[in-house]
Amino acid sequence: DSGVTQTPKHLITATGQRVTLRCSPRSGDLSVYWYQQSLDQGLQFLIQYYNGEERAKGNILERFSAQQFPDLHSELNLSSLELGDSALYFCASSTGQVATNEKLFFGSGTQLSVL
């Protein structure tokens, strides 16, 4: 058990809908990362937050947004969903201190199916 909690585990929705994925980081971790894993794309970095502030942005679509709350949990909002958004969405957390012996701890992921 990595200590990172993601909910829900599975989500089935229709095109055009909006969903929210939730992530609670490991106790003590200040940084949260979101990744999208599609069958042929590997792990695509979406966005990173550190202590409530956006720190780095990857290939995140404009239809997607995220935030990190004061209690450090994070939510990833996906709107106007398309079939191609179907993927496994991972959250990871870390201390945010990359120069130390930091590593990412991953949640078990949310499997999103857009029908």
Partner 1 sequence: AQKVTQAQTEISVVEKEDVTLDCVYETRDTTYYLFWYKQPPSGELVFLIRRNSFDEQNEISGRYSWNFQKSTSSFNFTITASQVVDSAVYFCARGSGTYKYIFGTGTRLKVLA
Region from 17-25, 27-35, 63-71, 73-81 binding partner 1, contact rule CB under 8 A: 27-35
Q: Is the dihedral of CA 10, 20, 86, 6 positive or negative?
A: negative
CB 44 within 8 A of CB 59: yes
> CA torsion, points 47, 65, 26, 58, in degrees to nearest 10?
-10
| Span from 13-21, 64-72, 76-84, 99-107 in contact with partner 1 (CB under 8 A) | 99-107
Nearer Cβ to partner 1 (25/109): 109
Site for partner 1 in 39-58 (CB under 8 A): 41-43, 45, 48, 50, 55-56, 58
Residue 8 sits in the site that holds partner 1 (CB under 8 A): no
Of the candidates 93, 91, 65, 90, the residue with the CA atom closest to the CA atom of residue 79: 65
Q: Is 64 in the site for partner 1 (CB under 8 A)?
A: no
Q: Name 100's Cβ contacts closer than 8 Å, sequence gap at least 6.
A: none
Contact set with partner 1 (CB under 8 A): 2, 31, 33, 35, 41-43, 45, 48, 50, 55-56, 58, 88, 90, 92, 96, 98-99, 101-109
